[in-house]
């Protein structure tokens, strides 16, 4: 028998224990071990029931995803689950911590499930562009009902112990020793004369099914536009309602095989590994210990400060918010409460969770209240002098090992750090708006930031359920510098013949939630205008520059906030309507510039915008501002809405082919000059026949 699966006898009960650290993943050896142990228990007449338990960190972390996309080895998980279900002796899964993915499906193959107070279950396959491939879509709806099963499968989220019991996933919660509790449960079953109870044979409750599926389709088309996996998940669950278990299992397998080979799933798996890899920051020794973060503070309770404070509280951390005066503080904290109240109203947060989070957030105007705080995140106006003043004050007020972080979206972290006597404790934590929702934290290391501060901030990202990526200092860092390059091309395309809604449509169809102009209107056009005015002097005079955006702001059009920007908005509506005034303005500017407007194809729009984005990413890699292509992918997917099913700009570039992109960039360079010159790294990759994936390290 495999030494990754233990077999013990406790009177009439056999205990099969998965023992494959770290998470009892269902690799081939574990699978074989279960088959052998099950056969042993079935063939032993002295055994009347079987408990399946996981040793170590959790019950079972699911399939070994390193086996995905490779030839499948027998015994298959799906067959093992069938064998468990067909076993003539009752099988009880005993769950602690997590039963996820294949681990959850394994538990569903058992006749009963018990768990301790740490137990949770989930089917996160959707997050990898897959569907549960070992019966999850068929057994879960039979066990807990269609609506709850769809929620679990489509969200990919975990369900905690009490909820799992309420839904009927767990038959009993065990207090005390789990193995003993499960053995007692088995003995009680036998004493009560209860036998096997195969989930696959349970009758499904089809009441309201039509409405439930219609609602699921609607939600999916809105939230997961363009992704195949959610649609396949719904179709598989539908087949659980309409057909036999065998038909459903076969359909699920067909879908799984389709999805596992799909570009979308490959992209999502890439992003999954990218998130793990991002925590290995180059130059930081692997054994660097993070500092402890128990208390936090945020300076400024404006748009970003409020969001950051909520993000910290949502992650269970106490936050002190410091504002310039009590009026601003009261206003800011009032808006925090309103935002939470909105979530309660929509049903996405319970009233008790809202209160618990608000309890964690307190306010002050006095720096001495920050004396013992572990990390302080500054989010005041984007003004270097102001930020320097604040960092000098923090340096005075905060304990020596406190981390001083800034949410600046573009300013030089090294200059800010120089305003303190502890530059090694200064770092950038660049959140995205709204910071309580958006997943990305683009963390920025300064020249002197210490390794343990880097590790601590990356760990903080994880604690508050964000995706962290560490980058270096340059104007705009990675995300905004690339955004600037791409948006600039979009504006030049306007001068050459395209219109805002035409460009936005191409970008939307590519998979972004919106194009650059609709995005500008949402964010507010006045902000970018101020930044551009500020930087005017720094701009080389021979650089091509588009004045359209400036003219629009000078016409008092600030975007959605005053119902007019690149588009018009009806009062109370967020739907952009193309505005003839803007079209006249744009064609007027083309004439001023002596440009004859031409028809620009969708393909050219996409190439100009996306290849420029990729080219800028290649520059950032070449300059070592970004350490690896997958960090850039994380930044663009989780901070800027790059379609998740395309895996981020650099992954997408490999998919298109470096040579194709390099040739297209060269052509653009000849037509438009220096700004579209291929990045040296792109040249090098094209010359050597390599891809961005080859740089991953």
- Binding-site ranges for ligand NAI (CB under 6 A): 299-305, 322-324, 328, 332, 379-382, 386, 390, 407-409, 430-433
* Residue with smaller CB distance to ligand NAI, 386 or 656: 386
Residue 147 known to be catalytic? no
Note whether 136 and 122 are within 8 A (CB): no
d(CA 603, CA 526): 31
Q: Which of 656, 648, 667 is nearest to 691 (CA)?
A: 656
Beta carbon of residue 321, minimum distance to ligand NAI (angstroms, whole number)? 9
* Residue with smaller CB distance to ligand NAI, 558 or 692: 558
* Residue with smaller CB distance to ligand NAI, 450 or 480: 480
d(CA 136, CA 232): 13
Beta carbon of residue 605, minimum distance to ligand NAI (angstroms, whole number)? 25
Q: How far is CA 367 from CA 148, 301, 457, in A?
A: 48, 15, 22
Residue whose Cβ sits closest to ligand NAI: 302
Note whether 26 and 60 are within 8 A (CB): yes
> For 621, what's the count of Cα atoms within 13 Å in the CB-facing half-sphere?
28
Beta carbon of residue 327, minimum distance to ligand NAI (angstroms, whole number)? 9
Within 227-374, strands assigned E span 296-299, 319-322, 361-364
Please pick, among 85, 125, 491, 616, the residue that the annotation labels catalytic: 125
* Residue with smaller CB distance to ligand NAI, 432 or 652: 432
Beta carbon of residue 324, minimum distance to ligand NAI (angstroms, whole number)? 4
C-alpha distance across the termini of the chain, in Å? 37
**3 state DSSP class of 304:** helix
Residue 125 known to be catalytic? yes
d(CA 536, CA 548): 15
d(CA 510, CA 490): 15
Show the CA angle centred on residue 30, arms to residues 27 and 34, nearest 5°.
140
Please pick, among 8, 29, 105, 659, the residue that the annotation labels catalytic: 105
d(CA 297, CA 85): 53
* Residue with smaller CB distance to ligand NAI, 199 or 297: 297
* Residue with smaller CB distance to ligand NAI, 407 or 425: 407
Q: What is the DSSP letter of 125?
A: G
In this structure, the dihedral spanned by the alpha carbons of residues 81, 83, 88 and 91, taken in order and rounded to 10 degrees, is -30
Beta carbon of residue 442, minimum distance to ligand NAI (angstroms, whole number)? 9
Beta carbon of residue 649, minimum distance to ligand NAI (angstroms, whole number)? 20
Q: Which of 592, 663, 611 is nearest to 489 (CA)?
A: 611
* Residue with smaller CB distance to ligand NAI, 290 or 434: 434
Beta carbon of residue 380, minimum distance to ligand NAI (angstroms, whole number)? 4
Report, as residue numbers or ranges, the catalytic residues. Answer: 105, 125
């Amino acid at each position: 028998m495999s030494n990754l699966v233990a077999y013990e006898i406790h009177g009439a009960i056999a205990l099969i224990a998965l023992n494959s650290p770290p998470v009892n993943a269902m690799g081939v050896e574990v699978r074989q071990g279960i088959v052998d142990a099950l056969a042993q228990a079935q063939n032993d007449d002295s055994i009347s029931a079987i408990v399946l338990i996981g040793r170590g960190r959790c019950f079972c972390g699911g399939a070994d995803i390193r086996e995905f996309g490779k030839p499948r080895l027998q015994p298959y998980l799906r067959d093992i689950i069938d064998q468990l279900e067909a076993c003539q002796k009752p099988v009880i899964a005993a769950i602690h911590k997590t039963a996820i993915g294949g681990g959850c499906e394994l538990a569903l193959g058992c006749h009963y499930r018990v768990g301790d107070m740490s137990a949770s279950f989930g089917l996160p396959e959707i997050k990898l562009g897959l569907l549960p491939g070992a019966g999850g879509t068929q057994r879960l709806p039979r066990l807990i009902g269609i609506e709850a099963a769809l929620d679990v499968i489509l969200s990919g989220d975990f369900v905690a112990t009490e909820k799992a019991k309420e839904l009927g996933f767990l038959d009993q919660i065990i207090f005390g020793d789990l193995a003993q509790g499960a053995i007692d449960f088995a003995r009680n079953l036998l004493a009560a004369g209860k036998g096997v109870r195969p989930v696959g044979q349970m009758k499904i409750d089809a009441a309201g099914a039509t409405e439930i599926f219609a609602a699921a389709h609607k939600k999916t088309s809105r939230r997961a536009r363009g992704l195949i996996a959610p649609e396949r998940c719904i179709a598989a669950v539908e087949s659980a309602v309409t057909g036999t278990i065998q038909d459903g299992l076969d359909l699920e397998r067909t879908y799984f095989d389709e999805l596992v080979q799909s570009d979308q799933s490959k992209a999502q798996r890439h992003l999954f590994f990218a998130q793990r890899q991002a925590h290995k920051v180059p130059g930081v020794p692997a054994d660097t210990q993070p500092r402890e973060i128990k208390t936090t503070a945020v300076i400024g309770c404006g748009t970003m400060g409020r969001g950051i404070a909520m993000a910290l509280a949502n992650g269970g951390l106490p936050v002190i918010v410091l504002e310039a005066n009590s009026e601003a503080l009261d206003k800011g904290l009032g808006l925090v409460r309103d935002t939470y109240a909105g979530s309660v109203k929509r049903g996405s947060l319970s009233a008790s969770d809202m209160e618990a989070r608000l309890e964690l957030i307190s306010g002050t105007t006095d720096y001495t209240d920050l004396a013992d705080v572990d990390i302080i995140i500054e989010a005041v106006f984007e003004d270097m002098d102001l930020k320097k003043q604040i960092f000098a004050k923090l340096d005075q007020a905060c304990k020596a090992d406190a981390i001083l972080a800034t949410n600046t979206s573009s300013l030089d972290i090294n200059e800010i750090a120089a305003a303190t006597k502890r530059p090694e404790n200064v770092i950038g934590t660049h959140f995205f708006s709204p910071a309580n929702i958006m997943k990305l934290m683009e963390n920025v290391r300064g020249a002197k930031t210490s390794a343990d501060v880097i590790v601590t901030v990356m760990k903080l990202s994880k604690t508050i359920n964000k995706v962290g990526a560490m980058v270096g200092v340059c104007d705009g860092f990675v995300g905004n510098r690339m955004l600037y390059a791409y948006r600039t091309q979009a504006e030049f395309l306007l001068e050459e013949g395209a219109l805002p809604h035409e460009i936005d449509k191409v970008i939307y169809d590519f998979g972004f939630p919106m194009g650059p102009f609709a995005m500008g209107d949402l964010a507010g056009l006045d902000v970018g205008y101020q930044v551009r005015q500020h930087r005017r002097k720094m701009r080389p005079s021979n650089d091509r520059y588009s004045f359209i955006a400036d003219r629009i702001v000078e016409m008092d059009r600030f975007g959605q906030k005053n119902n007019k920007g690149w588009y018009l908005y009806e009062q109370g509506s967020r739907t952009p309507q193309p505005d003839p005034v803007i079209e006249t303005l744009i064609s007027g500017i083309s004439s001023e510039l002596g440009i004859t407007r031409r028809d620009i194809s969708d393909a050219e729009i996409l190439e100009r915008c996306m290849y420029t984005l990729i080219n800028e990413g290649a520059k950032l890699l070449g300059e070592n501002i970004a350490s690896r292509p997958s960090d850039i992918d994380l930044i663009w997917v989780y901070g800027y809405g790059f379609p998740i099913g395309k895996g981020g700009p650099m992954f997408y570039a490999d998919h298109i082919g470096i040579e194709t992109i390099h040739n297209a960039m060269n052509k653009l360079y000849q037509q438009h000059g220096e700004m579209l010159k291929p990045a040296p790294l792109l040249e090098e990759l094209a010359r050597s026949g390599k891809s961005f994936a080859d740089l991953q390290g």
